[in-house]
């Protein structure tokens, strides 16, 4: 059934379709309407779930750590400061190997208070062990909730799906809402091998010495890598049932491209427009849209980007003293390649500043006309 809905509502529909049993969340702009919508769904009985109305995000995450440990499908959502407050428990959830799904609305981090789109929040959690998936449209947001549970429950790792504040969270788009029967067919009931079980008492997450910790983390790493393989299967299964196609990353006109722009989130939409315009001018440019960012699809990135002469990386995030997170990881991935492309790291759109197709066109033209980057990174649109 097609409906015109906002990104946050798309998330709520996804949660409902997955028959989530426990939700624990705390409001923060621009995630708030997810909490409101899910509260309504729980209150009306439309969704048969227990909503723990916690007093903070730290508790929101800890609550789902508790419920997921007891073997029940669990969900939380947050943004920016809330995600940062969760930090300790994010590591815990991943280390405890709990398939929690977390929806994060990408919002700038204070100070000063800025509620607009910026990916520094989710990227600052990149070492927590959560799988990270970046979405570009409301359809993709809804579909990602469903796919995330499938992935999370297979590899026993939490998944964070993330999408831009306001550009998606509060913007209405046409979304095809799947039928519950389709979702049921795709996502079987959650039945973990290990859980808090009164008939089979075990201890979870206690003291573990140097003798075991090392191997335990190695296994976690292996499983994270396996998630990459399995994600492709998830995408295939998803296509069969729902008809929509997803991948580890998306390639747009990259085949013969000499310049490839790398972007995540809504900047990819404007980049597509810019790519089309420049193609009309005969310029060989393309786009690689990042989808899954943890685990890092190194091989795939190399394959897509390896033959380009230049790679422009758009970062709507900043690690002060380094630059953009995506650029640094793309550079690391490309490092072993012979004749590797020249990378042009660009910081754009921080704190929700608009990035238009004209901007991206300008950025690509800058890369085309310079043999190497003039500034690393280039802060596009910086006011004097």
Partner 1 sequence: MQKTFDIPRELMTEEELLQPGMLSCQGCGASLAMKLALKGLGERTVVVIPACCWTIINGVYPYSALQVPVIHVPFETAAVSASGVRAALDARGEKDVVVMAWAGDGGTFDIGIQSLSGAAERNDDILYVCYDNEAYMNTGIQRSSATPVGAWTTTTPAGSIKEEPKKDIEEIMLAHHIPYMATASVAYPDDMYMKFKKVRHITGTKFIHLLSPCPPGWRIDPSKSVQITRMATQAKVFPIYEVRRWRFSKKRGRLEESWKYTINIYPDRELSVKEYMKAQGRFQQITEEMLHDVQERVDRKWDELIRKADGRPLTPNE
Q: Enumerate binding residues for partner 1 (CB under 8 A).
A: 21-22, 24, 49-50, 52-56, 58-59, 62-72, 74, 88-89, 92, 196-198, 200-209, 212
Three-class secondary structure of residue 34 per DSSP:
helix
Question: Nearer to partner 1 by C-beta: 84 or 296?
Answer: 84
3-state class of 175 per DSSP?
strand
Residue number with CB closer to partner 1 (220 or 342): 220
Inter-axis angle of helices 138-155 and 210-242, nearest 10 = 140
**Based on CB atoms, which residue is closest to partner 1, 32 or 74?**
74
Contacts of 269 (CB under 8 A, 6+ apart): 136, 137
- CB 199, min distance to partner 1, A: 9
What dihedral do alpha carbons 352, 326, 261, 147 form, nearest 10°?
Answer: -80
- Report the residue number, 216 or 229, with the smaller CB distance to partner 1: 216
How far, CA to CA in Å, does 258 sit from each of 1, 271, 286, 304?
41, 15, 8, 11
Task: Pick the closer one to partner 1 by CB: 49 or 160.
Answer: 49
Using CA atoms, how far apart are residues 380 and 373, in angstroms rounded to an integer?
12
Closest to partner 1 by CB, 21 vs 294, is 21
Q: How far is the CB of 94 from partner 1 (least distance, A)?
A: 13
Say if residues 26 and 80 touch (Cβ distance below 8 Å): no
Nearest approach, Cβ of 262 to partner 1 (angstroms)?
35
CB of 111 to partner 1, least distance (A): 22
Report, in Å, the least distance between residue 189 CB and partner 1.
12
Give the rounded distance of the alpha carbon of 114 from its chain centre: 20
Minimum CB distance to partner 1, residue 165 (Å): 26
Distance of alpha carbon 145 from alpha carbon 138, whole angstroms: 11
């Amino acid at each position: 059934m097609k409906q015109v809905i906002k990104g946050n509502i798309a998330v709520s529909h996804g949660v409902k379709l997955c028959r989530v049993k426990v939700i624990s969340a705390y409001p923060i702009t621009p995630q708030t309407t997810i909490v409101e919508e899910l509260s309504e769904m729980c209150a009306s009985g439309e969704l048969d779930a227990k909503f723990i109305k916690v007093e903070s995000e730290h508790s929101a995450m800890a609550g789902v750590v508790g419920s997921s440990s007891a073997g029940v499908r669990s969900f939380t959502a947050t943004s920016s400061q809330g995600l940062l407050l969760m930090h300790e428990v994010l590591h815990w959830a991943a280390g405890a190997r709990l398939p929690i799904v977390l929806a994060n609305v990408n919002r700038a981090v204070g100070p000063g208070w800025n509620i607009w789109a910026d990916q520094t929040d989710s990227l600052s959690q990149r070492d927590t062990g959560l799988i990270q998936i970046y979405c570009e449209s409301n359809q993709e947001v809804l579909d990602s909730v469903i796919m995330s549970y499938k992935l999370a429950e297979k590899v026993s790792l939490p998944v964070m799906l993330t999408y831009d504040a306001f550009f998606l969270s509060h913007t209405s788009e046409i979304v095809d809402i799947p039928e519950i029967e389709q979702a049921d067919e795709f996502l079987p009931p959650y039945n973990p091998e290990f859980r808090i079980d009164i008939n089979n008492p075990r201890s979870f997450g206690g003291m573990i010495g140097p003798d075991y910790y090392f191997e335990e983390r190695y296994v976690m790493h292996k499983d994270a890598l396996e998630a990459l393989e399995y994600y492709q299967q998830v995408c295939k299964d998803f296509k069969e049932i729902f008809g929509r196609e997803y991948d580890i990353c998306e390639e747009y006109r990259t085949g013969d491209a000499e310049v490839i722009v790398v972007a995540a989130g809504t900047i990819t939409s404007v980049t597509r427009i810019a790519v089309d315009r420049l193609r009309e001018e005969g310029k060989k440019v393309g786009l690689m849209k990042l989808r899954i960012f943890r685990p890092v699809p190194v091989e795939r990135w190399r394959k897509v980007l390896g033959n380009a002469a230049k790679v422009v990386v758009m970062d709507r995030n900043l690690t002060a003293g380094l630059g953009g997170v995506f650029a640094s990881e793309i550079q690391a991935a490309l490092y072993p390649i012979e004749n590797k492309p020249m990378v042009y790291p660009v910081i754009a759109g921080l704190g929700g500043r608009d990035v238009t197709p004209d901007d991206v066109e300008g950025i690509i033209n800058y890369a085309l006309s310079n043999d190497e980057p003039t500034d690393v990174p280039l802060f596009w649109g910086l006011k004097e």
